[in-house]
Structure 1
Amino acid sequence: MTILELFGLVAAGFVAALVGYVTGLASIVSYPALLAVGLNPLAANVTNTVALVASGIGSFAKSGRDLTAGDGGRSLARSALVAVAGGAVGAALLLLAPDEAFAYVVPYLVALAALALLAQPSLRRWFHRGVDRPVLWAVAVFVVSIYGGYFGAGAGVIFLALAMLLTELPLWKSVLLKSALLGVANAVAAVAFMVFGPVHWAAAVAMGIGCLLGGWMGPPVVARLPATPLRIAIGVCGLGLAVWLGVSS
């Protein structure tokens, strides 16, 4: 791998982390960048997961106190434990199951999450009536963390949609929660990939540097964006990602 390609991965990591924090679509930037420098799909997938851990570290280091203030720390800890379990299952699936395991269902999951974001104000009112949200939230975090540990493209959009529907958090805090939980799932999967997976370490370190910087920049960017246009933009981008995943699968 050339020096120019490594610098390109640093830049791709920065853009991926910033885009991923704002929209939940990091892998749509980082994964193709790794394929472009010659990694095969499995190596690109596991290297991408390892590199994106730095994005979660950067964003949480920047504004994690906002999420853990008051009772938020205990709530985050409970959700993080569920994400740990889901991420571990996802990593095991990637290392043991056929590559096509999620190929058919993922576009539909991402599309549903994007539509849920677009219809969030109405859906949130419906979810708040007669739904055991803590239990549903725990189950949802576990399932999405499995997917996040396995592949993860669009997992951020799904996490964000769930946070907007099943919690009382405003958009900017939902974005932070999404990044924290996806970072946990990625971190657990990354540990497994470091031991058992074909991680390309030069690419992972280069992209990780960019991801760390992009993750650090993400929270102040989101804090300055208007909530409703941002939610709509993420929903529209999520639909585009669903189409792309459906066509490429």
Structure 2
Amino acid sequence: MSIWEMLAVFAAGISAGTINTIVGSGTLITFPVLLATGLPPVTATVSNALGLIPGSISGAIGYRKELEGQRPRVLKLTVGALVGGLTGATLLLALPSTAFETIVPVLVALALLLVILQPRISKAVQSRRARTGTPAHPDGGPLLFIGLTLASVYGGYFTAAQGIIYLSLMGMLVDDTMQRLNAVKNVLAAIVNSIAALFFLFVADFDWTAVVLIAVGSALGGQIGAKVGRRLSPAFLRALIVTVGTAAIVQLVLR
């Protein structure tokens, strides 16, 4: 890897760490850069997953204030993230490289649709609860657990737009602010990246130079993203998610 390629990977790591903390889809920045340096797709995917761990942890730490009072919710969803992340990592090595990527644009598109409709859906759900006297489930109930577990399977496999899918599901099923849900998203992403990376360490090939460059860059980006992200209004954050997600779909389709 030349010095210019190293600088490009490092810059991609900073950008990915920043955008992952705010909305997700940072892999759509780092993955093409790693491929451009000559790494095979699976090696690039594994190296990317390893390198983004510090960024995910950094972003979660940056949102620690918004995590206050959410421990029961996070602990429950962590179980699904662990199971899903390990399953996705296993599938990455067991299935053809195109198996999941063919449905990724569809998944991201559905997630964006949920993000757009989330305020209307949440209002309808709240009205129904008021009429029936049914209290809101603090952690989203079984439907959210199953949905996030399946999203974590995808996250362990490829990670691109994983955060967007998390936010769309939680926004629809949990009565809480976008910033607090974003904090939970960062924790779950860190867990999925970590469990997948631990699995890859023992069974897959990766490039240490790429891992270190992305790790340092994403850790810096995680702190930048936390400072910027918590200042965004719910409407702006939702618009940013839709913009990034749309760009993700275009890139995935054209790749």
In structure 2, the partner of 1:218 is 225
Q: 1:94 aligns with which of 92, 95, 111?
A: 92
Larger Cα Rg: Structure 1 or Structure 2?
2
Q: Amino acid of the residue matched to residue 140 of structure 1?
A: G
In structure 2, the partner of 1:189 is 196
Q: Given that residues 114 and 236 in structure 1 are in contact (C-alpha distance below 8 angstroms), is that contact kept between their aligned partners in structure 2?
A: no
Q: Given that residues 24 and 155 in structure 1 are in contact (C-alpha distance below 8 angstroms), is that contact kept between their aligned partners in structure 2?
A: yes
Q: Given that residues 25 and 159 in structure 2 are in contact (C-alpha distance below 8 angstroms), is that contact kept between their aligned partners in structure 1?
A: no
Q: Given that residues 52 and 208 in structure 1 are in contact (C-alpha distance below 8 angstroms), is that contact kept between their aligned partners in structure 2?
A: yes
Q: Given that residues 157 and 234 in structure 1 are in contact (C-alpha distance below 8 angstroms), is that contact kept between their aligned partners in structure 2?
A: yes
Q: What does the per-residue CA deviation read over 1:198-239, in whole Å, with 9 as the maximum and x for residues that have no partner?
A: 111111011110001101221121111222022122113212
In structure 2, the partner of 1:117 is 115
Quote the offset at 1:94 in angstroms: 0.4
TM-score by length of 2: 0.91
Equivalent runs, 1:12-31 vs 2, <5 Å: 12-31=12-31
Q: What does the per-residue CA deviation read over 1:86-122, in whole Å, with 9 as the maximum and x for residues that have no partner?
A: 0000000001111122122211110011111112111
Q: State the alpha-carbon separation in 2 of the partners of residues 155 and 10 from structure 1.
A: 22
In structure 1, the partner of 2:149 is 142
Q: State the alpha-carbon separation in 2 of the partners of residues 157 and 208 from structure 1.
A: 21
Q: 1:202 aligns with which of 202, 209, 216?
A: 209
Quote the offset at 1:179 in angstroms: 1.5
Runs of 4+ in 1 over 6 A off after TM superposition: none
In structure 2, the partner of 1:5 is 5
Q: State the alpha-carbon separation in 1 of the partners of residues 42 and 124 from structure 2.
A: 40
Q: Given that residues 16 and 25 in structure 2 are in contact (C-alpha distance below 8 angstroms), is that contact kept between their aligned partners in structure 1?
A: yes
Q: Given that residues 148 and 166 in structure 2 are in contact (C-alpha distance below 8 angstroms), is that contact kept between their aligned partners in structure 1?
A: yes
What's the secondary structure of 1:42's corresponding residue? Answer: helix
In structure 1, the partner of 2:63 is 63
In structure 2, the partner of 1:176 is 183
Q: Given that residues 87 and 186 in structure 1 are in contact (C-alpha distance below 8 angstroms), is that contact kept between their aligned partners in structure 2?
A: yes
TM-score by length of 1: 0.93
Q: Which runs of 5+ in 2 are unaligned?
A: 130-135
Q: Given that residues 17 and 217 in structure 2 are in contact (C-alpha distance below 8 angstroms), is that contact kept between their aligned partners in structure 1?
A: yes
Q: Which runs of 5+ in 1 are unaligned?
A: none
Q: State the alpha-carbon separation in 2 of the partners of residues 62 and 19 from structure 1.
A: 13
Quote the offset at 1:8 in angstroms: 2.3
Q: Amino acid of the residue matched to residue 230 of structure 1?
A: L
In structure 2, the partner of 1:32 is 32
Q: State the alpha-carbon separation in 2 of the partners of residues 17 and 171 from structure 1.
A: 19
Q: Amino acid of the residue matched to residue 153 of structure 2?
A: I
Q: What does the per-residue CA deviation read over 1:25-81, in whole Å, with 9 as the maximum and x for residues that have no partner?
A: 2111111111121111111111111111111111122232431x23x1121111112
Q: State the alpha-carbon separation in 2 of the partners of residues 123 and 101 from structure 1.
A: 32
Residue identity over aligned pairs, in percent, reads 33
What's the secondary structure of 1:24's corresponding residue? Answer: coil
What's the secondary structure of 2:66's corresponding residue? Answer: helix
Q: Amino acid of the residue matched to residue 141 of structure 2?
A: P
Q: State the alpha-carbon separation in 1 of the partners of residues 142 and 84 from structure 2.
A: 15
Superposed CA RMSD in Å reads: 1.7
Count of matched residue positions in the alignment of Structure 1 and Structure 2: 246
Identify the range of structure 1 (153-162 vs 121-130) with the bigger mean alpha-carbon deviation: 121-130
Q: State the alpha-carbon separation in 2 of the partners of residues 65 and 76 from structure 1.
A: 14
What's the secondary structure of 1:66's corresponding residue? Answer: coil
Q: Amino acid of the residue matched to residue 50 of structure 1?
A: L
